[in-house]
């Protein structure tokens, strides 16, 4: 017997079958959407050289502190990936002849040594879809379209897509009179609007040394929301701004893709990551303060990292919030098993196993009693497991070429002919 | 620009889209089979507490040397899982009320710091299907049946399934006069038969202190192969042996599941892992010395580990050998994209994006030019990417409600009406 108390590492999670079935479904649906838009799968190691992750163009100092790293048995300094972007940049560097654009999706576990909160762990999944090698805003529109399609496919009706552009934000900060050296810090303050409201942002800005006049202008700007009309309003403030041109183009392409509602331009949307250069967007649940997915254009990040100019735009899905909301919304299914066969004794085992094989060959997910239990114990088990249909095979049944099919939810049962077509139909009804 | 040479950690692999598409297919097919037999997915962390992995009932000293481990930022000793069995045992320990049998599949990356050879890495995938909580040999038969089904689904015609039983092996060692303390070491020698042949095994046995007389008997035993007849032969040597009874039962159940050929009883099959207690089996490619999958019954392992008796039987698929053989057998597909849309200029972009949306809504995997290239550059790109069908949208086309569809493999093209039914049909033909 073990002398160790068995428990998980802090910040890691087990997903038992009901939970993992739903998670598999999320991955499958996202894969299906990615494929429809011409994105193909890629897989990279969880282990990366520490130099790759810690390089100045990798994660930056914040991420470095949070990155699991260790010396392996051979003395190499190894890190565990903290996102899927840096590994992809490495792959692009190692495959310079890749035809462009390169549209890839990738999902897998990533690692951050961070404070644990509900929905925030140290080992968790991310699902990314990125287009590398083109500056075309059509690629940006595709990312947003995929996001919308995903949440429709998940059955979410209530979600918001907020869109903004870093070039426009920069221009607006200039208009507000924010010193170019202080734009970054001002944006950090604006990014907190959701959490602290306008008065909070105003205070943050003040603390960060932004002057009264600028704060007043910023306060007005971040209240502006809408679609085309917003752009007309801000055009007066920053005429000829490249970000406005890009947002107009983005809206034009979204409309061409039959997406005419469900998104708004939100001048307060910043998105934390420094590396964005143009379009930025975030998809969240209406009413809930939960971000499901987000992304944007980062045209310089790969160049900074590998020395070759490769523009990029992508969307990253937060698997945990999507999963949490789906669990609340529809609960968890307990099984994929469609029928459970109960051989009443060893004498009918042969017939029962043959039946199981034939059902499986027809594509019916079939379980058979593996503990030689009596009927009531078997019903109890099937109930716990969420299996609705039972086929009971008795000695008399075998002689008379019949079986009994029982719906354990309604309690109804009937004896039917031992013919595959009849049995199959009875399972599905 | 980066001053770091970007490269992978030794023993890890990137899978670019052509490779990863095939790997996804392998996971999907195995999932489908597992579901058909009533197995459901589970996911556990890659990170485990070092005490869990290193506990005396965990991996044993060999595995311990090979396990990546490190102290995290909080001073905890963490290990990276070296298989999916120990984490599952931990889950069983932490969920003592799980209804039994518990049939789960799990796949994911595992880690071993080991010598690297072709097909052997330090980060690699495993796909396990195990039934916990029953001693019924039907569960053993299901594992073998799932193995057979997998290789049929992969299109492998030439594979061998070798079956044996640890209780029988133990009995036969007794018959051969091997001292009970030396059975383990004798089995290690026999396990090498594939690699070193009978003379090699004889020498090994001698080196391990097995006497001449025993070696002679063992040499005869390990030559025996077949099905029912084998059991009759060995029954004379070890009458009443439990392993024979179990193998007979296994064959009976396999037959009932319509599996009457493709497997043989091989008395030389040992399988390295000490924890097996009954049925053992291995599936390999005929002619090639490659093991695709293997498994068996390990009724005591979980008890040793967590203190509760939970019998278990499972099959573990080696994703790397299956993948390698499939690559050789059918090569790699380059894309899942069915059609590539070429808008001839910006004026037809709206129409082209609308077409892309409608095709995607019909479930057609659709890519659209994202680099505003001319036709010949687009054909070159589609060719490199393995996309066969192009739809060209010109200004005249839009006016006349037509598009041109081009098969870039045959070079044939034709102008068709801009109607979704007609376009969809032309893509699929």
Collect all residues of chain A within an 8 Å Cβ-Cβ radius of residue B319: none
- Any CB–CB contact under 8 A between A418 and chain B? no
- Least Cα separation, residue B391 to chain A (angstroms): 15
**Is the pLDDT at B69 greater than 60, yes or no?**
yes
* pLDDT tens-digit series, residues A55-94: 755 556 667 789 999 999 899 999 999 999 999 999 999 9
Give the one of B12, B253, B367 whose C-beta lies nearest to A45's C-beta. Answer: B12
Q: A270 phi and psi, to 5 degrees?
A: -115, -40
User: Which of B164, B165, B158, B137 lies closest to B262 in space, CA to CA?
Assistant: B158
**Contact: A55, B357; criterion CB under 8 Å:** no
**Mean pLDDT across B232-247:** 95
**Is the pLDDT at B14 greater than 80, yes or no?**
yes
CA of A360: which chain B residue's CA is closest? B36
**Is the pLDDT at A2 greater than 50, yes or no?**
no
pLDDT attached to residue B160: 87
Collect all residues of chain B within an 8 Å Cβ-Cβ radius of residue A132: none
**Is the pLDDT at B332 greater than 50, yes or no?**
yes
Are A221 and A198 contacting, i.e. CB atoms less than 8 angstroms apart? no
Out of A149-158, A327-336, B223-232, B334-343, pick the least confident.
Answer: B223-232
- Any CB–CB contact under 8 A between A258 and chain B? yes
Collect all residues of chain B within an 8 Å Cβ-Cβ radius of residue A43: 14-15, 20, 23
Residue B58 pLDDT grade (very low, low, confident, very high; cuts 50, 70, 90)? low
Which ipTM did the prediction report?
0.94
* pLDDT tens-digit series, residues B283-296: 988 777 788 999 99
**Percentage of residues in chain A with pLDDT exceeding 70?**
97
**Contact: A4, B138; criterion CB under 8 Å:** no
Strands (E), A205-329: 225-226, 263-266, 279-285, 291-297, 312-318
Give the one of B45, B55, B131 whose C-beta lies nearest to A4's C-beta. Answer: B55
**Is the pLDDT at A34 greater than 50, yes or no?**
yes
Collect all residues of chain A within an 8 Å Cβ-Cβ radius of residue B69: 70
Residue A261 pLDDT grade (very low, low, confident, very high; cuts 50, 70, 90)? confident
pLDDT attached to residue A61: 67
**Is the pLDDT at A193 greater than 60, yes or no?**
yes
pTM score > 0.90 for this model? yes
**Mean pLDDT across B14-22:** 98
CB contact set of B36 (below 8 Å; sequence gap of 6+): A360, A363, A364, A365, A366, B149
Half-sphere exposure of residue B27, counting CA atoms within 13 Å on the CB side? 16
pLDDT attached to residue A262: 83
User: Which of B184, B143, B139, B187 lies closest to B161 in space, CA to CA?
Assistant: B143
- Least Cα separation, residue B298 to chain A (angstroms): 16
* pLDDT tens-digit series, residues B24-44: 999 999 999 999 999 999 999
pLDDT attached to residue B1: 42
Most confident of A219-233, B203-217, B220-234: B203-217
**Mean pLDDT across A202-226:** 92
**Is the pLDDT at B424 greater than 80, yes or no?**
yes
Max Cα distance, chain A (Å): 93
**How far apart are alpha carbons B221 and A186 in whole angstroms?**
80
- Least Cα separation, residue B264 to chain A (angstroms): 21
- Any CB–CB contact under 8 A between B74 and chain A? yes
Give the one of A6, A36, A123 whose C-beta lies nearest to B93's C-beta. Answer: A6
Residue B63 pLDDT grade (very low, low, confident, very high; cuts 50, 70, 90)? confident
Q: A308 phi and psi, to 5 degrees?
A: -115, 140
**Mean pLDDT across A97-124:** 94
pLDDT attached to residue A1: 42
Collect all residues of chain A within an 8 Å Cβ-Cβ radius of residue B15: 41-44
- The 3-state secondary structure of chain B reads CCCCCCCCCCCCCCECHHHHHHHHHHHHHHHHHHHHCCCEECECCCEEEHHHHHCCCCCHHHHHHHCCEEECCCCCEEEECCCCHHHHHHHHHHCCCCCCCEEEEEEEEEECCCCCECCECCEEEEEEEEEECCCCHHHHHHHHHHHHHHHHHCCCCCEEEEEEEHHHHHHHHHHCCCCHHHHHHHHHHHCCHHHHHHHHHHHHHHHCCCCHHHHHHHHHHCCCEECHHHHHHHHHHCCCCHHHHHHHHHHHHHHHCCCCCCEEEECCCCCCCCCCCCEEEEEEECCCCCEEEEEEECCCHHHHHHCCCCCEEEEEEEHHHHHHHHHHHHCCCCCCCCEEEEECCHHHHHHHHHHHHHHHHCCCCEEECCCCCCHHHHHHHHHHHCCCEEEEECHHHHHHCEEEEEECCCCCEEEEECCHHHHHHHHHC
**Mean pLDDT across B241-265:** 94
- Least Cα separation, residue A42 to chain B (angstroms): 5
Give the one of B2, B91, B385 whose C-beta lies nearest to A55's C-beta. Answer: B2
Size of interface A-B (CB pairs under 8 A): 280
**Mean pLDDT across B160-185:** 94
- Any CB–CB contact under 8 A between A401 and chain B? no
Q: Which of B11, B47, B259 to mutate to probe the A interface, most A CBs <10 Å?
A: B47
**Is the pLDDT at A40 greater than 70, yes or no?**
yes
Residue B2 pLDDT grade (very low, low, confident, very high; cuts 50, 70, 90)? very low
**Mean pLDDT across A327-354:** 96
**Mean pLDDT across B305-314:** 92
Most confident of A102-116, A223-237, A262-276, B184-198: A102-116
**Contact: B350, A256; criterion CB under 8 Å:** yes
* pLDDT tens-digit series, residues B192-202: 888 899 999 99
**Mean pLDDT across A210-230:** 88
- C-alpha B19, offset from chain centre: 15
pLDDT attached to residue B3: 52
A43 against B304, higher pLDDT: A43
**Is the pLDDT at B62 greater than 80, yes or no?**
no
Mean pLDDT of chain A: 93
Out of A304-318, B9-23, B363-377, pick the least confident.
Answer: A304-318
pLDDT attached to residue B276: 93
Q: 329-388 in B: which are within 8 Å (CB) of A? A: 335-337, 340, 349-351, 353-354, 356-357, 360, 363-368, 370-372, 381, 384-385
- Any CB–CB contact under 8 A between A74 and chain B? yes
DSSP-derived secondary structure letter, A43: B
pLDDT attached to residue A226: 78
pLDDT attached to residue A35: 98
Collect all residues of chain A within an 8 Å Cβ-Cβ radius of residue B94: 6-8, 14
pLDDT attached to residue A58: 56
């Amino acid at each position: 017997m073990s002398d160790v108390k068995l428990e998980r590492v802090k910040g890691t999670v087990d997903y038992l079958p009901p939970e993992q079935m739903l998670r598999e479904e999320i991955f499958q649906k996202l894969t299906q959407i990615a494929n429809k838009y011409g994105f193909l799968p890629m897989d990279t190691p969880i282990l990366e050289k520490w130099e790759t992750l810690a390089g100045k163009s990798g994660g930056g100092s914040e991420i470095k502190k949070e990155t699991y790293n260790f010396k392996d048995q051979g003395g190499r300094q190894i890190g565990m990936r903290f996102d899927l972007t840096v590994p992809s940049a490495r792959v692009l560097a190692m495959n310079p002849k890749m035809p462009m654009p390169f549209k890839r999706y990738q999902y897998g576990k990533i690692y951050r040594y961070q404070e644990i909160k509900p929905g925030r762990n140290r080992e968790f999944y991310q699902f990314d879809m990125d287009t590398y090698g083109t500056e075309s805003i059509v690629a940006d529109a595709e990312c947003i379209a995929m996001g919308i399609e995903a949440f429709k496919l998940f059955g979410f009706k209530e979600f918001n897509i907020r869109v903004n552009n870093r070039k426009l934000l920069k221009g607006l900060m200039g208009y507000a009179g924010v010193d170019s050296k202080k734009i970054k810090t001002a944006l950090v303050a604006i990014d907190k609007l959701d959490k602290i409201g306008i008065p909070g942002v105003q205070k943050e800005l003040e603390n960060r040394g932004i002057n009264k006049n600028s704060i007043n202008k910023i306060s007005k700007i971040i209240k502006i929301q809408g679609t085309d009309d917003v752009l007309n309003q801000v055009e007066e403030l920053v005429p000829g701004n490249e970000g406005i041109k890009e947002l107009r183009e983005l809206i034009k392409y979204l409309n061409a893709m039959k997406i005419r509602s469900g998104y708004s331009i939100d001048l307060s949307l910043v998105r934390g990551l420094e590396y964005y250069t143009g379009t930025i967007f975030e998809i969240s649940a209406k009413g809930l303060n939960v971000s499901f997915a987000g992304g944007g254009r980062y045209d310089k990040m790969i160049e900074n990292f590998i020395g070759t100019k490769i523009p990029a735009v992508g969307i990253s899905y937060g698997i945990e919030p999507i999963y949490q909301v789906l669990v609340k919304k529809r609960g968890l299914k307990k099984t994929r098993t469609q029928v459970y066969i109960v051989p009443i004794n060893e004498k009918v085992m042969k017939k029962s196993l043959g039946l199981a094989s034939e059902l499986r060959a027809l594509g019916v997910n079939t379980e058979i009693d593996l503990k030689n239990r009596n009927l009531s114990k078997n019903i109890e088990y099937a109930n716990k497991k969420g299996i609705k249909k039972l086929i009971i095979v008795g000695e008399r049944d075998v002689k008379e070429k019949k079986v009994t099919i029982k719906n354990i939810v309604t309690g109804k049962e009937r004896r039917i002919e031992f013919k595959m077509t009849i049995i199959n139909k009875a399972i599905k009804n």
